[in-house]
A = this chain, B = another copy of it.
C-alpha cells in the first residue's frame, strides 16, 4: 500500500509565464477511465515534459472495492515511452505534486461532481489545477475562493489568453528552425508526430521544443494556447506569440498543427497556424487508407501530393516552406501491410516517410536536417 504523503506546495520555485502552468510534479486525474477512456492522460504519460507522480483512478486503486492497490501504469500499458507511476485512489494518496491535471473528458466536457474532493484537496495544498473541460474551473466560486486562499492557480486551457492580438508577421525572422506538422485531416497523428520528433531531436542532442496549439499538446508541454478557441482574427497572432516565445530558448521548434487545409470546417485554424508559425519545413501526416475527411465523408481527401502542394503554395506566400517528410499512421494495418503503406506514401509524396509510432521519428528528423540549416 502506498504511503500517504502530504501534498507539497511548490509555488515558491515555480516559474511563471503568460502562457504556462509550469508543472514539475503532476498528479493526473483519470477516475474510472484509465487507460482506455483516458486518452489525454495516456498522451501526457507518453510525452509530458514533466514528471507524473501518480495517476488517480479510484476504480483501479480499488477504493471501496477491496482490490489490489499497488498497481502502477505499467501494469496496464505496455509501451516503454510511457512514464510509469503509481495508481492511487485519491489526491491525498499521491506523492507530493505541484499540479493536478484533469486527464479524462467525460462526454459533453462537463466536470464530474465526484472529482470535487480531489480538486479541493489539491487546492488546499497549494497545488494548481489544470483542465481542458467545457466547464470552467474559474467559473466555480468555491474553487476560485480556495485557490486564492491557498495561493494556487486554476487553468482552463481551452481558454486562450485574454490579451491576444493580430500577428505581426515576425515568425520568419527568428533564428530557430521551425517545423510544422500538417495533415490531410483531423486526427492524423500531428500531435504524436510532433512529440516523437521533439524526443528524437533531443536524443540527438538538439535543443528542441514543441509549440502546442491544442489541449492535449498543452497538457503535455505544460504551456501553450488552444488556437482553435482564439478569436479568428487573432489565431495567427496566438501562434506567432508562442513561436517567438519558444524561439528565445530553443534551436528547433516543432509546431503542432490542427485540422487540415482540405477540411471544410477547420481549414481556417490550419491556415492561421501555417501563417502564424511560418515553418521552414513541413511534415505531412496522414492515416493509411483514409480517403475522405472524417465525419465529412462526402469530402474526398485529394491525392496526398496535391495536399502537400497546397500547403507549400499557401505557406509560401508569407515564407518559403516545403513538405520534407511524411508521417503515416498505420495502426489499422496488419504487419507487413504497414511497411508497404509507408513506402507507397513516401513515393506518393516524393519525400522520406515513416510511421512515427511504429518506427520512431529518426527518418523524419533526418529529412528535416537534410533540408534545413539545422546542425545535427
A residues adjacent to B (C-beta < 8 A): 166-169, 227-233, 235-237, 261-272, 275-276, 278, 296, 298-299, 302, 309-310, 313-314, 317-318
Contacts and interface: CB of A to CB of B under 8 A. Distances in A.
Contacts of A232: 227-232, 235, 268-269, 272
Contact of A230 (B231, B236, B298): B231
Contact of A236 (B169, B268, B276, B299): B268
B299 A310 contact: no
Given A267-B271, A268-B275, A272-B268, A317 B233 contact: no
A180 B237 CA distance: 25
Contacts of A296: 168-169
B268 A235 contact: yes
B265 A166 contact: yes
A168 B264 CA distance: 8
A269 B169 CA distance: 16
Contact of A269 (B233, B278, B302): B233
A198 to B, nearest CB: 24
Contact of A310 (B269, B298, B313): B313
| Identical copies of this chain, number | 2
A233 B237 contact: no
Given A264-B275, A265-B236, A268-B269, A299 B313 contact: no
A233 B266 contact: yes
Contact of A267 (B264, B272, B299, B313): B272
Complex A-B, nearest 3 residue pairs according to Cβ-Cβ distance, in ascending order: A268-B272, A169-B264, A167-B265
A296 to B, nearest CB: 5
Given A231-B229, A231-B231, A314-B310, A267 B236 contact: yes
Contact of A166 (B262, B266, B272, B298): B266
A318 B264 contact: yes
A169 B266 contact: no
Contacts of A271: 261, 267-268, 270-271
Nearest to A309: B313
13 contacts: A169-B265, A232-B269, A233-B265, A233-B266, A235-B268, A236-B264, A264-B276, A265-B275, A267-B272, A267-B275, A267-B318, A313-B313, A314-B314
Contacts of A299: 169, 317-318
A54 B272 CA distance: 42
Contacts of A272: 232, 267-268
A52 to B, nearest CB: 29
A296 B309 CA distance: 25
